Amino acid sequence: MVKSLYLCIEKRKNDMNRRIKQVWLLAILSSFLLIGLQTYWLYNSVTYSMGEMGKKNAEKAEQAIVTYLTNIGAEVKEKSHIGYVVTAYFSDFKRPCTTICSPLDTDTIIGGVVYSKPGFGNVMEKRDTFDLRETDSNNSFDCLNTYITYQLTRFDKAHFDRFISRKLGNDFIGAEMKTGKHRLWQTRIVEPPTLFHHEMLVEVPFNPIQYQSMQMRMQVPMLPILKGMMWQMIGSLLVTIMLLLSIAYLIKVMLLQKKVDKMRSDFVHTMIHELKRPVQTLKMCVSVFSAQKTDEKDENALIMETVREESDNLTAYLAKLREVIRAEEHIPLQITSFDIHAALQNLVAVYRKNKQKEVNVSFDYQRTSDRMMGDRDQLLNVVSNLMENSVKYSGDIVNIHVACRDTEKEEVMISVSDNGIGISSDEQQRVWTKFYRSNAYPDMMQPGIGLGLSFVDMIVKAHGGRKMMQSEVGKGTRISIVIPQHS
């Protein structure tokens, strides 16, 4: 049965290790996938926002050029002494559309019909005709007026740059006139802005009749985009952090479960070993009694003493388990005022009578009062556990010093010092863990199930107190407990 239990525990341990590895792998893959998806989403969101900002900049650039051409056209009309007649054919008009520019008036004639009387007077007259049936007449008058304007004047690049710079502000970088092979009728974005390149190139119709357009390079600032996406980015970051923390917490719980399973496994192994020894001893003694044919009283007394000691050990193990379970179940402490001086004296007297080793116990009581507040039985169990460890983990000659005094904060400090094997610095925190037994002990056959100091820790915390340990390997250990006193 014991072997089956051992195999079951080992199988459970191997299954847990395999599951933890699987969880680690899934957690790492999920984390990378999550970060990748969030990064991809943010990249696309920023790119989309930059594209929208680019469209707005293109509209602003187009409007700035329209305003510039309108202003230049008005100035040219006021100063010109040349009359200009331009006739154009568009796809949505069956008859030609004619635009007239004169120093006296500007009229439009459709199909030879004059809608307002032109007045050329004695000025010079010029005429042009264009086939523009590749487009409709939505922008016909603007393009015809622009053509006439730049037939009557020269394009001033410096003046254009100053005007556009005033309109667009710091977003405007520069502009360049382009003459192509095809007429451009609609504004288009040649180079859109990207996450790593914050400039854009937009091409705006300028003088389409003569195949001229204006290529304008503009800056797309990131700050307004980031401000607009601030809450989205914060929300995305928080969701990512929460998911990563959830994964980390899951892994932590799995590791904690693994630790608990290991402690449970160690506990079962230890309990099997510790309970097996007294049971086998009792069986041996019973067998001796059964086979005994003599009535030697001394031998019978020795056997009975052995039976009693092993029964006491078995009872002590079970009592210690019960105490730990009671402490974990948060059973209320029985807080009373009791005589700690007399209680410690009695406990010291008990350990001075140890028959297995030479035990020397000194006692130093420095309090002004003999009474203290606390759970008498539990506190005496704590001190007894500490003294038991001192005897157990020392040589053949054991020197124990028990001290009790008041602190400056209305507390009672009880200390137990010994000349035992000591505890290494890296294990001084772990020895308070339930079922933990150090591998550094020279005699691992020494009885114990690793519950003594964990019980001390639980009882001290239940009293609202604290514990302290000073230990050096090969020289000994001093453990102090401090219990607050409430008036």
Say how far apart CA 48 and CA 213 lie, in whole Å.
Answer: 27
Tell whether the model's pLDDT for residue 186 goes beyond 80: yes
Q: What is the average pLDDT across 162-170? A: 89
**Among 35-49, 92-106, 397-411, 422-436, the range of highest mean pLDDT:** 397-411
**Of 51-55, 223-227, 466-470, 475-479, minimum mean pLDDT range:** 223-227
- Neighbouring residues of 19: CB distance < 8 A, sequence distance ≥ 6: 254
Instruction: Identify the bridge partners of residue 200 per DSSP, sorted by sequence position.
Output: 218
Q: How far apart (Å, rounded) are the C-alpha atoms in residues 419 and 398?
A: 7
Euclidean distance between CA atoms 474 and 441, whole angstroms: 11
- Per-residue pLDDT, 106: 44
Adjacent-strand bridge partners of 362: 401
β-strand partners of 369 = none
pLDDT for the residue 356: 77
Domain spans in the chain, listed from the N-terminal domain onward: 28-226, 332-484
Residue the block writes with tokens 């510039």: 68
Query: Judging by beta carbons within 10 Å of its beta carbon (0-12, 13-18, 19+), is residue 63 exposed, middle or buried?
Result: middle
pLDDT grade for 466, boundaries at 50, 70 and 90: very high
Nearest CA among 236, 237, 174, 185 for reference residue 209:
185
For the segment 450-474, the average pLDDT, to the nearest whole number, is 86
What is the residue whose two structure tokens read 């008009």? 93
Residues of the chain above pLDDT 90, percent: 15
In the predicted structure, residue 105 carries a pLDDT above the cut 90: no
DSSP calls for 202-231: EEEEEEGGGTEEEEEEEE--HHHHHHHTHH
Residue 416 confidence (pLDDT): 95
| pLDDT at residue number 344 | 93
pLDDT at 467: 93
CB 214 within 8 A of CB 176: yes
Protein fold of 332-484: Heat Shock Protein 90 (3.30.565)
For residue 224, give the nearest of 57, 40, 35, 41 by alpha carbon. Answer: 57
Q: How many CB atoms lie within 10 A of CB 13?
A: 15
**Residue 276 confidence (pLDDT) above 80:** no
Give the model's confidence band at 481: pLDDT under 50 very low, under 70 low, under 90 confident, else very high: very high
Question: Rounded to two decimals, what is the model's pTM?
Answer: 0.45
The token pair at 371 is 């009474």
Mean model confidence pLDDT for the chain: 77
172-179 and 212-219: which strand pairing?
antiparallel
What is the DSSP annotation of 406-458?
E-TTSEEEEEEEE-S----GGGTTGGGSTT---TT-S-TTS---S-HHHHHHH
Confidence of residue 122 (pLDDT cuts 50, 70, 90): very low
Amino acid occupying residue 308: R
